Amino acid sequence: MIRRDDELLAYDLDRLLAGDDAPAARFPAPWPRGAGGIDAVSPTLDLAVFSGQHALHAVDAAGALRWTVRHACWGSSCSSFHDSYEEYAGSGEHRHPDSGSCWISADGSTVWAHVRTPLPDDVEPELDEEWLVLDAADGRVLARVSTGTAAAGSHHVPHPDPGQMGLSVGEGQDGAPLRWGRWDGTRLTVIRIGDDDRCLVDVSPCGTRLLTIAHWGREPAIHRLPDGAVTHEVAADHRFPPHPQAPPDAEEEPDWGYQCGFVDERTVVASTRERHGRPRHWLIGVARGDVLGQVEYPMPVSEDPMALGDGTWLTCGEDDPFHLLLWSSPAMVEGGVTSTGTRRDSPLMTRDGGTAEDEGVVTLAP
């Protein structure tokens, strides 16, 4: 998705990789970019839901308004309900608001939204933050639960089961609460995962594991579902080789990029950011959380990879965010790594950062 001030553009990845850069769908935006939270588009591209300062706003593929759900304003000192963005556009107290987010379930039937409450029809209007489950067809509120958070912003992480969803709330320096929700068609159940200091990043393709990053870009961890318990801290004991561009006496602990994820059920791709050179990408085994090797690309790429869960991940060109590059992982076997094939211009991976001479080079076919 690309969010502009006046519209949201949705793209089909297969068409993009084939060279067709035309958007698959366009949705008119009810307020400018930056005047709300994170928006969502349905899997079938027939609905977009905009998360704003004062409302959720759903638009269909023809650009027509399907429904609106108003909620308490995210403006820090505002206690009003608004009917439109124009009521407060340009107002100082609304210039840098906190924000929520929304997402549409895997089957397109429900919208999950993190909003500030009360809602306009609440009998006992108390200021709070709640997680709503709404009917995607008409915006009817099906369930709601207090999140117990004080958000600066939030984002959703979807699950392949349409009855489950993850919510990661950023509270600035105060923490990063993580909530996991289950909707059985009648009741919404929400559990807390972790110590309110781990950001939810991804869900495994089969939905049995979660990937989180500690606040401030520290150790990733793999959690199991349904209880959210940590099974492995990723590369907790791994000694990363010195960055090639670092001075000989440099000592630094690399930070992890937030845009990491499951390449497939057995592999995670992640990046480390270091002061003395460009970020490095790593393949990590899910079974033990150990580093399988460093990915070396034949060209400069963007800082963070985006895992797609089907054995591939995306990067962008170094200078052009619209130049997408698709990469695939080698076959992972117990005790080592084997190649799925060799192609020119493929990235190279060496185990544990070793050289081709001492460990053997593995080709990752793009």
Q: 3-class DSSP state for residue 353?
A: helix
- E strand segments, 230-276: 230-233, 255-256, 261-262, 267-274
pLDDT of residue 52: 94
For the stretch 299-357, pLDDT in tens is 778 778 999 999 999 888 777 766 788 888 765 433 333 323 222 233 333 333 322 22
Reported as a pLDDT band with limits 50, 70 and 90, residue 248 is low
Contacts of 348 (CB under 8 A, 6+ apart): 295, 296, 298, 356, 361, 362, 363, 364
Where exactly are the structural domains of the chain? Answer: 1-196, 198-366
How far is the C-alpha of 262 from the C-alpha of 306, rounded, in Å?
A: 9
Reported as a pLDDT band with limits 50, 70 and 90, residue 214 is confident
Cα dist. 114→50, 90, 108, 145, 149 in Å?
A: 12, 24, 17, 10, 10
For the stretch 134-154, pLDDT in tens is 999 999 999 999 999 999 999
Q: Which two tokens stand for residue 240?
A: 């990363």
Mean pLDDT of 77-93: 87
DSSP code at position 140: -
For the stretch 296-314, pLDDT in tens is 888 778 778 999 999 999 8
Most distant pair of Cα atoms in the chain: their distance: 72
Q: If you average pLDDT over every residue of the chain, what do you get?
A: 83
Reported as a pLDDT band with limits 50, 70 and 90, residue 364 is very low
Reported as a pLDDT band with limits 50, 70 and 90, residue 67 is very high
Give the residue carrying structure tokens 């052009």: 320
pLDDT of residue 321: 66
How far is the C-alpha of 186 from the C-alpha of 18, rounded, in Å?
A: 43
Mean pLDDT of 98-126: 94
Q: 3-class DSSP state for residue 92?
A: helix
pLDDT of residue 202: 96
How far is the C-alpha of 137 from the C-alpha of 135, rounded, in Å?
A: 5
67-76, 243-252, 344-353 — which is least confidently predicted? 344-353
Q: Which two tokens stand for residue 347?
A: 């990235």
Reported as a pLDDT band with limits 50, 70 and 90, residue 92 is confident
Q: Which two tokens stand for residue 139?
A: 């915006």
Q: 274, 290, 288, 269: which is closest to 347 by C-alpha?
A: 269
DSSP code at position 24: S
pLDDT of residue 247: 61
CATH topology of domain 1-196: Methylamine Dehydrogenase; Chain H (2.130.10)
Percentage of the chain surpassing pLDDT 70?
83
Give the residue carrying structure tokens 């076919």: 365
Q: Which two tokens stand for residue 276?
A: 């003395």
Length of the chain: 366
How far is the C-alpha of 86 from the C-alpha of 269, rounded, in Å?
A: 43
pLDDT of residue 295: 87
Reported as a pLDDT band with limits 50, 70 and 90, residue 276 is low
For the entire predicted model, the pTM comes to 0.86
